[in-house]
Structure 1
Amino acid sequence: MKADFDPVTLATPIFILTIILEIVLARLGKARANYEWKDTAVSLGMGLGSTIAGVITGGLVFAASLWAYEHRLFTVPFTAVWAWVVLFLLEDVTYYWFHRLSHERRFWWAAHVNHHSSQHYNLSTALRQTWTGGVAGTWLLWLPLAFLGFSPAMIAIQKGISLVYQYWIHTETIRRMPRWFEAVFNTPSHHRVHHARNPRYLDRNYAGILIVWDRMFGTFQPELDEEPCRYGIVRNLGSFNILRVAFHEWVGIAKDVARQPRHALGWLFGPPGWSPDGSRETSAMLKAEWTKGQGTPAAEPQGAREAA
């Protein structure tokens, strides 16, 4: 594997072709997929904007990764099979915690919420990526891998592989994979739960490639046939304005901080939906209310998810 290998660039033509194929098959009644042209256009535009934003912030990320690698504890060989196996596991669990943080703290949710803003779930949704992730600094979570001795090129390649893997799970066409596969890997079924706004499903299934992290850390929720997923965010935007999709939560944070600056830390780093007087609802509150309605004891909160 070459150091300049870029999985995402290589896979981009496949992304476009499979989106077109899913649309055609859905029109012919051969696939389960709902597409709305304005929604799809926003997703594609967000993907393009994310690529541009990545180029803008890429120099900083690479410089920081290179600095960390120059101060590494070990030197991990690029060509060793064991090194790629270890990197796969470490990068995947890093992604899990990045993804969980991006749902449980409002500052990082502001950079991630656009990915969840579509009320449709199809392959184009996978391309609805952030424009502000680099500014939010979540890339810092991957620096320890460079400190350990994995080169920036290795880390970038594995992150790309993870991103490409996660593309195909954004579909309703595939209902279930074989049981052994569902037990170990992230699948369309597991990820539909993650994109759902049903109280039962909020803040679950953060996995990148391996669903085992959710099973280990108590955030796994299977998709239930008796409760179909409703997609979007708790308060849907009702808009196809791409700038609103990209920045609405940042604007919401700015307004909240300007109105009550003494609660700035809460507005920034509390769970999405946090308010000093409890007048807004976090996902933990929504889950507790839903659980109470089911007549069962409330479960331990696992984070929050709510739009501005």
Structure 2
Amino acid sequence: MSEREIIASIVSSGFILVFVIELLAGKFKESPRPWRDGGFIMAGLSAHAVMSTPLIGFIAGWLVVLMFPNSSGALADTPFWLALGCIFFTQEMMHYWLHRWIHEKEWLWKIHRTHHTAEKLNTGVIWRYNIFWTLLLPQVWMLPFMIYFGLGIPCVVAGMITFFGNMLTHTAFRWDLWLRKKMPWSEPAWCVIEKVITLPDTHHAHHAWGPGSNLNGNYATTLFIFDTVFGTAKIPNREQKRYGLPKAKNLDWKEELFWPLIRKPEASLSSKQP
């Protein structure tokens, strides 16, 4: 088994394990529309595997050879931990600004909005998106470049860290609040950690609406320090009651999956909320 196959097995096994635990705990039954959520998740997974990954691999692979024809393996001697740190930090910073920009630019918001119409959070939501969303992700574009330069393994490991961080912040289990309640003596450490690392507390707030929410903030995937530094952080230290968007039930599933190819006029919706 190759290194890539081993890494793919670790990622898929980790996701399946957490997904099954949530399923057995009845977390998916809490969703008002589980079949719709399941359909969106399958569409997102399929688009990522069949469209985004092959297309980006081809385009980025062609570009890197065109731009750097004599640089194959040029960075292969870079120490692993240095390469991992630089790649991970760069990807996190790029994702923070992409995520923030998409929330601030109305014409791009609908490509990302599908991820926010889930009315309950669980690990499946990390794959719940418009089919074109992954075409924008910096992590996916960086991988072919890093493989060409000889840094494929550090780049894949950086992606794994982001992926497992996503699982831990999207999960229906509020493990951070549970730990803080069970270990009150650790509170000083949590007060530091929550400003540096994204926790369920802050990411659930990003997906919520109403008290304790922060839809237009808490953009970081793993390194919450970007929100702290750039003024978009909100740390509620509480559970949220409502998730999704107020007008989620009014949205057409075809537009959610295929925007901008399929567009529905806002005038046909009964709610003018975001």
The TM-score, its normalising length taken from structure 1, stands at 0.65
Structure 2 counterpart of 1:164, one-letter code: F
Deviations 1:121-174 (A, max 9, x none): 112112213411355x5549966x959x96573545523431332122112312
Higher mean C-alpha displacement, 204-213 vs 100-109: 100-109
Report if the CA contact (8 A) 1:190-1:223 is conserved. yes
Q: Which amino acid aligns with 1:89?
A: F
Which amino acid is the alignment partner of residue 163 of structure 2?
Answer: L
- Residue by residue, what CA displacement relative to the aligned partner does 1:255-278 show, whole Å, maximum 9, x if unpaired? 68xxxxxxxxxxxxxxxxxxxxxx
- Aligned to 1:169, the other structure's residue is in SS state helix
Cα distance change, pair 26–159 in 1 and its aligned pair in 2 (3 A): same
Q: How many Å separate the matches in 1 of 2:252 and 2:17?
A: 23
Cα pair 1:69 1:146 within 8 Å, conserved = no
Question: Structure 1: which 5+ runs fail to align?
Answer: 257-279, 287-305
2:214: which partner in 1? 201
Measure the CA separation in 1 of the matches of 2:130 and 2:113.
Answer: 8
Residue matched to 1:223: 236
1:181 Cα deviation after fit? 3.0
Distance 1:198 1:9, change over 3 A: farther
Distance 1:88 1:165 in 2: 12
Cα distance, 1:67 vs. partner? Answer: 4.1
**Structure 1 position 163 matched with structure 2 position 160:** no
Partner of 1:54: 52
Distance 1:71 1:119 in 2: 50
The SS at the match of 1:198 is coil
- Report deviation, 1:218: 0.6
- The code of the aligned residue for 2:106 comes to R
Give the drift of 1:211: 0.5
Show the counterpart of 2:38: 41
Amino acid at match of 1:187: L
Distance 1:4 1:25, change over 3 A: closer
SS in 2 for 1:209: coil
Normalised TM-score (structure 2): 0.72
Aligned length in residues: 249
- Distance in 1, matches of 2:175 and 2:208, equals 15
Q: Any conservation in 2 of the 1:110–1:250 contact (CA below 8 Å)?
A: no
3-state DSSP of counterpart to 2:171: coil
Deviations 1:12-62 (A, max 9, x none): 2321232121121247xxxx9834531442243122333222234231133
- Whichever structure has more helix as a proportion of its residues is 2
**Match in the other structure for 1:21:** 21
Residues in 2 aligned to 1:157 and 1:5: alpha-carbon distance in whole angstroms: 13
Separation (CA, whole Å) in 1 of partners of 2:70 and 2:117: 40
Does the C-alpha gap of structure 1 residues 240 and 111 become closer, same or farther in structure 2, counting only changes over 3 Å?
A: closer
Instruction: State the AA in 2 paired with 1:197.
Output: W
Change (3 A) 1:245 1:237: farther
Decide which moves more: 206-215 or 232-241: 232-241
**Residue 233 in structure 1 maps to residue 229 in structure 2:** no
CA distance in 2, matches of 1:114, 1:184: 27
Task: Report the RMSD for the aligned CA atoms in angstroms.
Answer: 3.8
